[in-house]
Chains A and B, each alone.
Chain A
Amino acid sequence: MKFIQELPVLIIVIPLIFAVIIPLVGRLNRLLPWIIASTITFFCFLISISLLITVLDTGRISYWLGGWEPPWGIEYAIDYLNAFVLVVVSFIAFIVSLYSRRSVELEINKNKISAFYCIYMLFITGLMGIVITGDIFNIYVFLEISSLAGYGLIAIGRKREALVASYNYLILGTIAATFILIGIGYIYMATGTLNIADLQERLPALFHSKMVLVALAFFTVGLSLKLALFPLHAWLPGAYTHAPSVVSCIMAATATKVGVYAMLRIIFGVFRIEFDIHFIPIANILIVVSSMAIIAGSALAIAQTNLKRMLAYSSIGQIGYIVLGAVLANQIAMTGSIIHILNHALMKGALFMVVGCIIYKTGIEDISGLRGMGKKMPFTMAVFTVAGLSMMGVPLTVGFVSKWYIAIGALNAGMGYLIPVIITGSLLAAVYVWRIIVNIYFPEELPKHELQYTDGGAEITDHKSQYSEAPWSMLGPTIALAVLCIYFGISATAPLYIAEKAAVMLLQ
């Protein structure tokens, strides 16, 4: 029983300890880092599932670090929202680390592989820390742990552009984190506490204070930078494009989602909803900004020729959907937004895994190089089609569920004029996804000559355009995500149930 009670801290401590162990044992065996990373992330996934079940059974879990009672000590507080996000993050971390072995061997130098898994574990630790903690200063610390690990992960590949992309991300990320630090300072000055539950009680009395207003402004800008909301998205496309495929995959699927979680927690958990609407029109501002993000992200994605860069811009559009659903501030839209955290993680994870498979097998990153690929890599392209349709929001895929909820929520909030925005976003997504699907299956003209394929780092050989699929260790996780994309599109009861409870809790 003792062990069960300690689960909330173990999910942070175990990956942190193994992050240090991995480079030590990495010298013994080439495969050991990968085995450890996969096992540990699987354990974290199990722990997060058991935490979710406990939360569903008994309500909020409060873990006191070192036995110090909150608000004096640090508290790990787990409720419906963060149990849900925790499951999403640990599941994606597990699937991606299963997938990573061959792709990492190809895209990262041999002597850096154990370092890669070390930083990968630190990155996961940071993300899960942000999600699980109930202390606002801890959010800052974990945010910096995950961001610093993220800068390392982006720069670890062979491309030299990645270094510059990572540096730009570092500068913007540090400015964002420092803004969040200023925000924390202001609300600490106003209330004298750092515990989120305690802040929630004390802040309403201080809503007229200018300090609290300034704090919210700093939080909003800082978090928007971290989660790449449209006008502050400059770091994202470069970072996703030049990072190794595994890194783009894990960052697109989890890092921005955790940023969104932090935003939900601070804007709706720490500050109350009435403050966001009546005292400062932050919700209205964010509605405008996120609508712009939906349109601009999807429109910019159409203009790209590089596959990864296109997916990066599409991420910016999808983040717009999540933020839009959240700031509409009614239960249905909020449910849609929370469930889109899961859905977008699934579909963007699948899409970036597909790109990883393509790069592994052919070394092609350009969209034009995909002509006629449907015959060569049928399974990979089937996954791309499913995840792409999901990105458009076609019924029976996950994308439809969340967009439906957000659209209904917009109607309920009396903002019917947002429906065209949501539909335009979907149509633009249809343009950039359909263009590729057509290219894959019905090429206008096959390339006149065979392209050179890299075949997983083996000798560069001339391949005929015959069946040549990615290895199963990569294909398996990719297909698993695609299956989940459809499964949760058809039967979304379980995630909807949790997301609804989380939405009700946030909007109290």
Chain B
Amino acid sequence: MIDVIHFIQTKFYYLVVIFLMMIGLYTTIASRNLIKKVIGINIFQISVFLFYIAMAKVKHGTAPILWDKAVIYDNPLPHVLILTAIVVSVSTTAVALALIINIYKEYETIEEDSILAKQELDEEESILAKQKLDIDRSNMA
């Protein structure tokens, strides 16, 4: 029991990261709504950012600023990496939302199931149109 408490106490940050990661990944896979999928992706990415931030912490470390009372500093490199990764995440979200807006304009829905149904309808229509064209032309010939 002590072991478990100790484990939770010391690895607390990583447990939160894994919890968030699973929520994000599950939402992305299980949700049929395009916007909810993007939200899931965002949660998933943010969990990874937290993972980087958590690993940058050094015991008794202070913020990485030159300061007379500081003896040991946190590692600033992962923070910088994550700034870049946040930019990437924001632009991914922007592209995804732009795509969703266009999908909504074309299909008038953002539910994956109804989009698939409409796509199947499209295909059937195009096959029918082709057959009709063929018949018309053979009649003409």
Interface members, chain B 6-46 (any A CB < 8 Å): 25, 28, 34, 37, 41, 44-45
Binds B, one of A96-104, A168-176, A351-359, A492-500: A168-176
Q: When chains A and B are docked, how far (Å) is the Cα of A178 from the Cα of B17?
A: 13
Asked if A164 and B103 make an inter-chain contact with CB atoms under 8 angstroms apart, the answer reads yes
A174 with B34: CB separation less than 8 A? no
Say yes or no: A175 contacts B41, CB within 8 Å. Answer: yes
On chain B, the residues within 8 Å of A166 by CB distance are: 99
Q: Are B48 and A189 in contact (CB under 8 A)?
A: no
The answer to the question of A278 belonging to the interface, with a C-beta cut-off of 8 Å to chain B, is no
* Separation of A25 and B121 alpha carbons in the complex (Å): 42
B11 to chain A, nearest CB (A): 13
A441 touches B (CB below 8 Å)? no
A132-155 Cβ-contact flags toward B at 8 Å (1 or 0)? 000001001100100010011001
Residues of B100-139 whose CB lies within 8 A of A:
100, 102-103, 106-107, 115, 119, 122, 133-134, 137-138
- Residues of chain B lying within 8 A (CB to CB) of residue A155: 99, 102
A160 touches B107 (CB 8 A): yes
- Judge whether B138 and A448 touch: CB under 8 Å: yes
Across the interface, which residues of A come within 8 angstroms of B44, CB to CB? 175, 178
Q: C-beta contact mask, B74-101 vs A, less than 8 Å → 1, else 0?
A: 0001100100110010011001100110
* Chain A residues, CB < 8 A from B85: 140, 181
Rounded to whole angstroms, the CA-CA distance of A137 and B137 in the bound complex is 60
Any B CB within 8 A of the CB of A167? yes
A148 touching B92, Cβ below 8 Å: yes
Closest CB of chain A to B94's CB: distance in Å? 9
- Within the assembled complex, what's the spacing in Å between the Cα atoms of A167 and B138? 41
Q: How many residues of A contact B (CB 8 A)?
A: 28
Contact of A188 among B78, B88, B102, B115 (CB under 8 A): B78
Flag if A148 contacts B41 (CB, 8 Å). Answer: no
Distance of B27 from chain A, by nearest CB (Å): 11
Q: Is the CB of B52 within 8 A of A185?
A: yes
Closest chain-A Cβ to B84's Cβ sits at a distance in Å of: 6
Chain B CB within 10 Å, residue with most, of A155, A171, A448, A452: A171
In the assembled complex, the CB of A202 is this many whole angstroms from the nearest CB of chain B, namely 16
CB distance from A1 to the nearest CB of B (A): 33
Instruction: Check A2 for interface membership: any CB of B closer than 8 A.
Output: no
Partner of B81, one of A137, A161, A175, A448: A137
Q: What number of B residues sit within 8 Å (CB to CB) of A?
A: 36
The residue in A140, A152, A181 that gathers the most chain B C-beta atoms within 10 A of its C-beta is: A181
Among candidates B37, B45, B137, B140, residue contacting A171 with C-beta atoms closer than 8 Å: B37
Q: Assess whether A182 is interfacial by the CB under 8 Å rule.
A: yes
User: Contacts of A160 on B, CB cut-off 8 Å?
Assistant: 103, 106-107
Determine how close the nearest CB of chain A comes to the CB of B130; give it in whole angstroms: 9
- Complex Cα distance, B140 from A141, in Å, reads 59
A294 at the interface (CB under 8 A from B): no
On whether the beta carbons of B119 and A449 are closer than 8 Å, the reply is no
The CA-CA distance from A137 to B29 in the complex, in Å, is 26
Q: Is A163 an interface residue (CB 8 A)?
A: yes
CB–CB B92/A163 < 8 A:
no
Smallest Cβ-Cβ distance to A145: which chain B residue: B88
- Alpha-carbon separation in the docked complex, A405 to B60 (Å): 57
Q: How far is the CB of A242 from chain B (nearest CB, A)?
A: 10
What are the residues of chain B within 8 A of A151 when measuring CB–CB?
A: 95, 99
Contact check, A167 vs B140: say whether CB atoms are below 8 A apart.
no
Q: Does B141 contact A (CB under 8 A)?
A: yes
- Whether B141 lies near A174 (C-beta < 8 A) is no
Contacts of B103 in A (CB 8 A): 160, 163-164, 167
Closest chain A residue to B99, Cβ basis:
A167
Q: How far is the CA of A170 from the CA of B34 in the complex (A)?
A: 11
What residue of chain B has the Cβ atom nearest to residue A366's Cβ? Answer: B130
A195 to B41, CA, bound (A): 28
Within 8 A of B (CB), among A156-211: 160-161, 163-164, 166-167, 170-171, 174-175, 177-178, 181-182, 185, 188-189
The CA-CA distance from A77 to B55 in the complex, in Å, is 28
Asked whether A164 and B140 contact (CB < 8 A) given A141-B84, A152-B95, A175-B28, the answer is no
Closest chain B residue, CB of each to CB of A154:
B99
Q: From residue A72, how far is it (CB to closest CB) to chain B in Å?
A: 10
Residues of chain A in range 342-384 having any CB-CB distance to chain B below 8 Å: none
Query: Distance in Å from the Cβ of B33 to the closest Cβ of chain A?
Result: 12
Q: How far is the CA of A343 from the CA of B41 in the complex (A)?
A: 36
A181/B48 in contact, CB under 8 A: yes
Q: Can you pick out 13 interface pairs between chain A and chain B where the beta carbons lie within 8 Å of each other?
A: A137-B84, A141-B88, A151-B95, A160-B103, A160-B106, A163-B102, A164-B103, A167-B100, A171-B96, A174-B96, A175-B25, A175-B41, A185-B55
Q: Can you add 18 more A-B contacts, CB < 8 Å, to A148-B95, A448-B141?
A: A140-B88, A141-B88, A144-B88, A144-B91, A148-B88, A161-B122, A163-B102, A164-B115, A167-B34, A170-B92, A171-B96, A174-B41, A174-B92, A175-B28, A177-B88, A188-B77, A449-B140, A452-B133
A residues contacting B by CB (< 8 A) are 137, 140-141, 144, 148, 151-152, 155, 160-161, 163-164, 166-167, 170-171, 174-175, 177-178, 181-182, 185, 188-189, 448-449, 452
